């Protein structure tokens, strides 16, 4: 009888000890979860490198026909001199994979034309914080700010509809026997030299309305319109045009059109300048900008190939 009581006491003590260990130690899965939760958070994966790893040769990036259209060579040049002119002069670069440029200079008796084409490949040294494209966008935005482009005018607000949804009252027809605005009274023929429905202005002889002054040219004193600097659409990922005209003076005014656009992680610059030799001559804005834009479009297409 004494042996049975001792055996029962030992079994009870062992059961209580196992139960206590299970409550204090916890489950193995719970221990692993706590250790994982207390570890360091994983860092985000860095952005992949930019689309472009190398840059094209700027002196060979412009088509020969385009060069001849933008830089007409004087007839006095020899064949070898023409080849030198259209070959261009490369800028000095210590890292051809990051920044390159080429310049052309065509001098003629009536004007001098200059052309520059430059490529810059932007690289982010911390792609976990910003990608190559993001860094290139920052470079573009700084150049846009330096250009001081005019702010586009705000969009006019739409007209306010009439209260209570009421439609405007329709125009009342004229009373019977009264002529409408711009019409001759019935029974009276139009004045000689005047089309029906128009009256001569005060101080103007009949038949002279809308007639130009003899010997005067309508566009003789009207300068061509200035297109100005602006942001461009449909050229790369972002683009702007900067048009500058030198101050008038003893020398003829020079016009310089600069186009900057971003395509992925590359910044492309096209700068086209026309300097006439005859004082009072102003290079037209539309023609100069159009030639620069055509070249910029061709360069953008080459990058997208």
**What is the tens place of the pLDDT at every residue in 21-70?**
444 454 444 444 444 454 555 667 888 888 999 999 999 999 999 999 99
Calculate ∠ Cα 85-87-84, nearest 5°: 40
> How far is 265 from 262, CA to CA, in rounded Å?
7
pLDDT at residue number 236: 95
Locate 41 and state its tokens.
Answer: 């958070």
- Averaged pLDDT for residues 7-29: 46
Residue 160 inside a domain? The answer is no
Containing structural domain, residue 242:
58-149+225-304
pLDDT in tens, 226-252: 889 999 999 999 999 999 999 877 678
Residue 136 and residue 265 in contact, taking contact as beta carbons nearer than 8 Å: yes
Count of domains for the chain? 1
pLDDT at residue number 272: 98
Bridge partners of 116, per DSSP, are 103, 271
pLDDT at residue number 247: 85
Q: Tokens 């804005």, residue?
A: 285
Residue 47 inside a domain? The answer is no
Residue 78 and residue 88 in contact, taking contact as beta carbons nearer than 8 Å: no
Residue 289 inside a domain? The answer is yes
> How far is 28 from 269, CA to CA, in rounded Å?
64
Residue 18 inside a domain? The answer is no
Give the side-chain half-sphere CA count within 13 A for 76: 4
3-state secondary structure of 293: helix
pLDDT above 70 as % of the chain: 61
Contacting residues for 136 by C-beta, under 8 A, at least 6 apart: 50, 122, 262, 264, 265, 266, 267
pTM of the model: 0.65
Residue 274 inside a domain? The answer is yes
Residue 208 and residue 219 in contact, taking contact as beta carbons nearer than 8 Å: no
Q: Tokens 């002069």, residue?
A: 89
> How far is 133 from 208, CA to CA, in rounded Å?
64
Q: What is the largest CA-CA distance in the chain?
A: 149
Higher pLDDT, 127 or 156: 127
Locate 213 and state its tokens.
Answer: 């002054």
pLDDT at residue number 199: 53
pLDDT at residue number 288: 97
CATH number, residue 271:
3.40.1000
Residue 36 inside a domain? The answer is no
For residue 180, is pLDDT > 70? no
Residue 284: which of 220, 214, 225, 198 has the closest Cα? 225
Residue 267 inside a domain? The answer is yes
Residue 219 inside a domain? The answer is no
């Amino acid at each position: 009888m004494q042996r049975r009581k001792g055996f029962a006491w030992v079994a009870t003590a062992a059961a209580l000890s196992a139960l206590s260990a299970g409550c204090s130690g916890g489950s193995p899965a719970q221990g692993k979860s706590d250790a994982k939760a207390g570890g360091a958070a994983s860092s985000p994966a860095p952005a992949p490198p930019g689309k472009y790893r190398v840059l094209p040769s700027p002196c060979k990036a412009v088509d020969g026909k385009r060069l001849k259209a933008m830089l007409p060579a004087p007839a006095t040049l020899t064949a070898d001199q023409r080849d030198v002119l259209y070959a261009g002069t490369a800028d000095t670069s210590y890292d051809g994979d990051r920044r390159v440029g080429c310049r052309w200079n065509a001098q003629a008796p009536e004007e001098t034309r200059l052309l520059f084409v430059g490529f810059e490949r932007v690289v982010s040294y911390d792609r976990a914080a910003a990608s190559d494209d993001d860094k290139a966008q920052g470079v573009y935005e700084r150049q846009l700010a330096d250009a001081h482009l005019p702010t586009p005018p705000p969009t006019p607000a739409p007209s306010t509809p009439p209260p209570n949804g009421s439609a405007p009252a329709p125009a009342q027809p004229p009373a019977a026997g009264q002529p409408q605005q711009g019409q001759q009274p019935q029974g009276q023929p139009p004045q000689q030299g005047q089309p029906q429905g128009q009256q001569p202005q005060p101080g103007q002889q009949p038949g002279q309305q809308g007639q130009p002054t003899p010997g005067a040219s309508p566009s003789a004193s009207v300068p061509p319109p200035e297109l100005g600097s602006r942001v461009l659409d449909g050229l790369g990922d972002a683009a702007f045009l900067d048009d500058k005209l030198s101050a008038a003076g003893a020398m003829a005014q020079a016009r310089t059109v600069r186009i900057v656009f971003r395509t992925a992680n590359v910044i492309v610059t096209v700068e086209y300048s026309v300097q006439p030799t005859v004082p009072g001559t102003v290079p037209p804005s539309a023609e100069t900008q159009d030639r620069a834009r055509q070249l910029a479009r061709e360069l953008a297409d080459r990058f997208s190939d």
